[in-house]
Structure 1
Amino acid sequence: MKIAVVGAGFAGLATAKILREFEHDVTVFEKAPDVGGVWSATRRYSGLRTQNNKDSYAFTDLPMPRDYPEWPTGEQVQAYLERYVSTFELRPYLRLATEVVRAELTDAEDGWMVTARRIGAPVSAPERFDHLVVANGVFSDPVFPQYPGYADLVRAGGKLVASSQLNTLDDARGKNVVVVGYGKSACDVAAEIGPVAESTTVVARHLLWKMPKRIANVLNMKYLLLSRLGEALFRYQELTGGMEKFLHGRGNKVRASMLASIGSVATWQLKLKKLDLVPHGEFADIANSQVSLSTDSFYEQVADGAIAVHRDAEIERFETEGDQPVAVLSNGARIPADLVVCGTGFHQRVPFLDDAISARLQDEQGNYQLYRQILPHGVPHLTFSGYNSSFFSPLSAEAGAIWIAAYLGGALDLPSVEERRKHVAERVAWMEERTGGKHARGTNVIPFSMHQIDETLDEAGVNISPRARAVQWLLPIDPSVYKNVVPRLKEKISLQPGKERVGSDS
Structure 2
Amino acid sequence: MKSSSSVTSSHTMYESDNDQDYPLYTMSSAKTTHNLHQSVLVIGSGAAGLVTAQTLITDGFTNVHIFSKDSHPGGVWEHNKVYSGVFINNLYGDYRFSSMEMPRHPSRDPTNNRLSAEDMQFYFEKFTETYLRDRISYETEVLNIRRPQPPFDSDPPNWIVKYRKKGSKGTREMGFHRIILCTGGCHKPRIPSAFSPSAVKASGFLGPVIHSSEFRAKLDTIFAAVQPSDHHRSMQPNSRPDPYLPNPPSAEDHGAGSNSDDHDGGGVVVVIGGGKSAQDIAGFLANEGHHRNVCMIYEKTDAFVASTTQLSSRIRRSRILGVLSPHSELRTPLERFLHKTWLGSRTVRGIFDMASSYSFKSFQIPPDSPLRLSQEPFWSLRVNDEVCRRGNSFHVLVNEGKILIEAPAKAVEFGEDGRSIVLNDGRVIRADAIVLATGYESSWTDLFDVQTINQVGLGKYPPQYVSLDAYDQEWKGYMSLKNPPPAPAVNQQWMSCIYRGIVPARSILKRDLAINGAVFSTNNGYVFETTAHWISSYFLEDSFLQLPAGIKEAVQSTERTSAWLRRRYPDMLHWTNESHSSDIQFWSWPQYTDDLLRDMGLRHGKARTGGNALTWLFKPIEVEVIKDLTKERAALRMQSA
Q: Does 1:450 align with 2:590?
A: yes
Q: Does the aligned pair in 2 maintain the 1:207–1:312 contact within 8 Å? A: no
3-state secondary structure, aligned to 2:618: coil
**Residue of structure 1 equivalent to 2:504:** 376
Q: Structure 1 residue 402 and structure 2 residue 444: aligned?
A: no
Q: Structure 1: where are the runs of 5+ without partners?
A: 498-506
What does residue 502 of structure 1 align with? Answer: none
Cross-structure match for 1:480: 624
1:62-86 Cα deviation digits (max 9, x unpaired)? 1212565422322221111111112
Choose 1 or 2 for highest CA Rg: 2
Q: Aligned match of 1:440 in 546, 552, 577?
A: 577
Give the corresponding residue for 1:503: none
Distance 1:448 1:153 in 2: 47
Q: CA deviation at 1:18?
A: 0.6
Q: CA deviation at 1:314?
A: 0.5
Give the share of equivalent positions with the same residue, in percent: 23
On the 8 A contact 1:35/1:81 being kept in 2, the answer is: yes
> Where does residue 307 of structure 1 map in the other structure?
403
TM-score between the two structures when normalised by the length of structure 2: 0.72
1:294-315 Cα distance to aligned partner (Å, 9 max, x none): 4852122212211111122110
Query: Aligned to 1:82, which of 112, 125, 147?
Result: 125
In structure 2, distance between residues paired with 1:307 and 1:221:
31
Distance in 2 (CA, whole Å) between partners of 1:101 and 1:221 is 46
- Partner SS state of residue 126, structure 1: strand
Looking at structure 1, the residues matched to 124 and 375 of structure 2 have their Cα atoms a distance apart, in angstroms, of: 37
TM-superposed deviation, 1:106: 2.2
Cα distance in 2 between the residues matched to 1:339 and 1:46 = 20
Alignment match, 1:200: 294
| Paired letter, 2:541 | G
Is the alpha carbon distance of 1:207 and 1:92 closer, same or farther for their aligned partners in structure 2, counting shifts above 3 Å? closer
The answer for the alignment partner of 1:490 in structure 2 is: 634
Structure 1 residue 35 displacement after superposition: 0.7
1:413 corresponds in structure 2 to 546
Q: CA deviation at 1:155?
A: 3.3
2:304 pairs with 1:210: yes
**CA distance 1:185–1:153, shift in 2 (3 Å):** farther
Shift in Å at residue 281 of structure 1? 8.2
What are the superposed Cα offsets for residues 41-80 of structure 1, whole Å, 9 maximum, x if unpaired?
A: 2333553321111232110121212565422322221111
CA deviation after TM superposition for structure 1 residue 171, in Å: 4.2
Aligned counterparts of 2:354 and 2:442: Cα–Cα separation in 1: 35
Quote how far apart the aligned CAs of 1:164 are. Answer: 2.2
Specify the code of the residue in structure 1 equivalent to 2:505: H
In structure 1, the residue corresponding to 2:599 is in which secondary structure? helix
Structure 2 contact 92–113 (Cα < 8 Å) conserved: yes
| Mapped partners of 1:470, 1:246: distance in 2 | 22
Structure 2 stretches lacking a partner, 5+ long: 1-37, 151-155, 229-266, 462-490
Of 141-150 and 50-59, the range deviating more from structure 2: 141-150
2:184 to 132, 137, 140: 137
The corresponding residue for 2:366 is 273
CA positional deviation for 1:265: 1.0
Are 1:391 and 2:433 counterparts? no
- Write the deviation string for residues 95-128 of structure 1: whole angstroms up to 9, x where unpaired: 1111111222123686111222211114454222
Question: Aligned partners of 2:518, 2:376: CA distance in 1, in Å?
Answer: 27
- Which one-letter code corresponds to 1:229 in the other structure? I
Q: Do the aligned partners of 1:138 and 1:348 also contact (CA within 8 Å) in 2?
A: yes
Report whether the alignment pairs 1:466 with 2:606: yes
1:429 has 2:429 as partner: no
5 Å-filtered alignment, 1:239-254, equals 239-248=330-339, 249=341, 250-254=343-347
Instruction: For 1:486, give the aligned amino acid.
Output: T
Whole-Å separation in 1 of the counterparts to 2:53 and 2:69? 16
TM-score (norm 1): 0.90
Q: Give the corresponding residue for 1:180.
A: 272
Decide whether the 8 Å contact of 1:224 with 1:230 is kept in 2. Answer: yes
1:96 aligns with 2:138: yes
> How far 1:279 moved relative to its partner?
4.0
Relative contact order higher in (CA < 8 Å, ≥ 6 apart): 1
Question: 1:255 and 1:263 mapped to 2: Cα distance?
Answer: 13
**2:354 matched to 1:261?**
yes
- Please give the secondary structure, in 1, of the residue aligned with 2:326: coil
More displaced, 125-134 or 172-181?
Answer: 172-181
Matched, 1:167 2:216: yes
- Match 2:421 to one of 327, 347, 357: 327
Query: What count of residue pairs does the alignment treat as equivalent?
Result: 490
